[in-house]
Structure 1
Amino acid sequence: MEKMGNSSETVSFVLAAYGNIGELKYLYFIIILIWYLSICVANTVLIVVIRVDRRLHEPMYMLLCNLCVNEINASTSLYPLLLSQMFSDSHEVTVPWCFLQMCCMVTCAPAEFCSLAAMAYDRYISICHPFNYNVIMKTERVFLMIMFVWLYSFLSFIFSYSFIFSLKFCGNIIHNAYCDHQLIIRLSCSVPIQSFISNISFLLLSVFIPFSLILVSYLKILRVCRKTSTENKQKAVTTCTPQIVSVSNLFVGCTFYFIDFTFVVSRVPNEVRIILPMYVLIFQPMLTPFMYGFNLPKIRQSYQRFLFKRQ
């Protein structure tokens, strides 16, 4: 079943990273399920708190809700498949489901960076142009920004990797725990030249451009903060710290991903090669509600009112 003539004969891919885990599958299943549910609950609670507290109906928190939605989407693109594969003997995934997971995961990556870029822009307007903030960051404009984030993310995927859907495959063994687009491309009968170009374009569209906007926003914020009072500096640090931590963690995850698959594939243990590419999807979705929930005073106070209101 490993060698296939063309894509019409390839009905499924085999996820070879699971191997024979024996009785440990029950322990892994419980750990993954608890972690996935914790991510969904933590992000959902943050969304609900922002939704029910009118004092949080501000552009910054609306953009934060969008980021939380993306964290849930990214986690849902990975964890249900992991859970289902724990009790599978063949570890097969049909081609449509594999492509669907790939599409969701790859789309969530630019959505994460673009959401953080939108939030950085919001902080830039709030700190550098406070008197024009309500005029610039109107509710209608915020909704347009959110729509643009998702449209841009989807088009980034289509522009970069839509050619995968028409590939002919001469193998169906994916040496990973999920449908990684890079490994799917390697299974094609002849790796197309656009593979390299698509990787460069995706990095440009999904990482470099949003990160450049984030960097410019924070450099301008830093320049203004150098001339302001200590109190204003502290406020700026408080509101910007969660976003800086999120961006930093994303780059750590991206580094792990590309180091794992580009440089040291044969030099690290198999377990590490499986976990490292999933670093962002493991920690980022939980980092977002934790950082914003505990670092932003308004949300922390709203949490307290939400949880202990009736006590």
Structure 2
Amino acid sequence: MDQNVVTASISCVLVHYLYQITCTSREKMNLHNGSIQITEFVIGGFEKVERQMEIGFVMLVVYLLIIVANTLNIVFIILDKKLHKPMYLLICNLAVVDILISSSSCPTMIGVLLAGANTISYAACLIQMFSFQVAEAMEMFALAVMALDRLIAISFPLRYHSILTNARTIAITYFLWVAACAFVTLMPVLLIPIPYCFNRLRYSFCDYPAIIRTSCHDPKHFFNLATIVWYFLLFFTFGFICISYACIISVVLRSSKNESRKVLGTCLSHLIVVVCYYLPLFMRIVFTRIGLVLTLEEQQGLTIGAILGPSLVNPFVYCLRTKEIKNKLFGIFKKVKPI
């Protein structure tokens, strides 16, 4: 299908839902009389959770590990000119995304659990939501472009450095950040003008579903619009990754056993990261489709695991399975002499 036709179709669907939202808003103007002026939100996702201090402490430790591990990967790649190559630039970008996705959600949850700071200002809540959703979209884009990197490296090994240069890698990454921001901008655009009837969030931090449920409107059309955008990103990126690995497998089948092992070894790190990120997402979709009803606490646990799990696994996978980064790390420990 022509790309212009696909883009036009998506635009028509988005316009249709925007029109429905507008019509619904006009039909329910009587609800606006019950709206309130929101200056801050109350985070109520942990109110029924037992052992909040223990959970908060564990989250704090995991969050610090995420920040330290990803920062070390970034520092190693920036300071070592030998690592200024497309693959390592993409690893560096993934580390930045992991820091953003955890930092836009974990501090709020840790503050609620450890300090009882369960309020957040309206502006800060919208900023947190925007940052988190951008990071989510960018995680998908980052994994997709890393699959492209592996495909080019395996299919065109002799032309790899001429096809995917550092400049092109940076340009692609910059474009993907802009695209992620463009997709996510739709959410605050929909949220800012609507009236709110509640200031209590059902979930553990500021994300789109939590905020939209506090509005005076029927959230159905808002959820449908966000679902269209999000499913498009999810299945487009995952589909691209699957196609990339189908091409890689075709190359592997034509190679010798030794070459096949080497090829699969270069892809294993990326495959681990892809599974860690997409598996929780598809689990939530499957649970929803089969009608499995999860309690609020179970939903919270699955969401928190989907945030912390990949962000913690990614830096350690690339640190321990990437020879250059692993040697750099072990070299630092060897230089540290015991007193």
RMSD: 2.5
Q: Is the 8 A contact 1:18 1:91 kept in 2?
A: no
SS across alignment from 2:105: helix
- 1:207 corresponds, among 221, 226, 234, to 234
Instruction: Give the one of 220, 242, 247 matched to 2:269.
Output: 242
**Alpha carbons of 1:258 and 1:9: their partners in 2 closer, same or farther (altered >3 Å)?**
farther
**Sequence identity, in percent?**
25
Give the alignment partner of residue 218 of structure 1, picking from 233, 242, 245. 245
Write the letter of the residue equivalent to 2:119: E
Match of residue 302, structure 1, among 325, 328, 331: 328
Shift of 1:212: 2.0
User: Are 1:94 and 2:126 matched, yes or no?
Assistant: no
Measured against aligned partners, the alpha-carbon deviations of 1:256-278 in whole angstroms (never above 9, x if no partner) come to 4446777768x444432221122
Structure 2: which 5+ residue stretches go unaligned? 1-30
Whole-angstrom CA distance in 1 between matches of 2:33 and 2:121? 17
245-254 or 65-74, which deviates more: 245-254
Deviation readout 1:132-168 (Å, 9 max, x if unpaired): 1111111110110110121111111114553122221
Amino acid across the alignment from 2:205: Y
1:262 & 1:171 partners in 2: Cα distance? 29
1:248-263 map, 5 Å: 248-258=275-285
Offset from partner CA, 1:164-185 (integer Å, 9 cap, x none): 2222112222111111311322
Match of 1:14 in 2: 42
SS of alignment partner, residue 168 of structure 1 = coil
In the aligned structure 1, how far is the partner of 2:54 from the partner of 2:205?
19
Of the candidates 300, 309, 312, which is equivalent to residue 286 of structure 1? Answer: 312
Deviations 1:56-100 (A, max 9, x none): 221001100000010011110011111222355572222111111
Q: CA deviation at 1:112?
A: 0.5
Aligned to 2:16: none
Q: 1:236 to 1:43 in 2, by over 3 A?
A: same
Offset of residue 238 of structure 1: 1.5
Inter-CA distance 5–303: structure 2 relative to 1 (3 Å threshold)? farther
Alpha-carbon offset, residue 25 of structure 1: 4.3
How many residues align structurally?
Answer: 306
Aligned-partner SS, 2:41:
strand
Deviation per CA, 1:6-33: give whole Å up to 9, x if none: 77612222211222768x4443333222
Partner Cα distance (2:288, 2:312) in 1 = 25
SS of residue matched to 1:14: strand
Larger radius of gyration: 2
In structure 2, the CA distance between the partners of 1:27 and 1:131, relative to structure 1 (3 Å rule), is same
Q: What does residue 150 of structure 1 align with?
A: 177
Tell me which amino acid in the other structure corresponds to 1:139.
N
1:1-311 to 2 correspondences below 5 Å: 5=33, 9-19=37-47, 24-86=51-113, 91-159=118-186, 162-191=189-218, 193-204=221-232, 206-258=233-285, 267-309=293-335, 311=337
What is the TM-score when the length of structure 1 is the normalising length? 0.89
Please give the TM-score of this superposition, normalised by the length of structure 2: 0.82
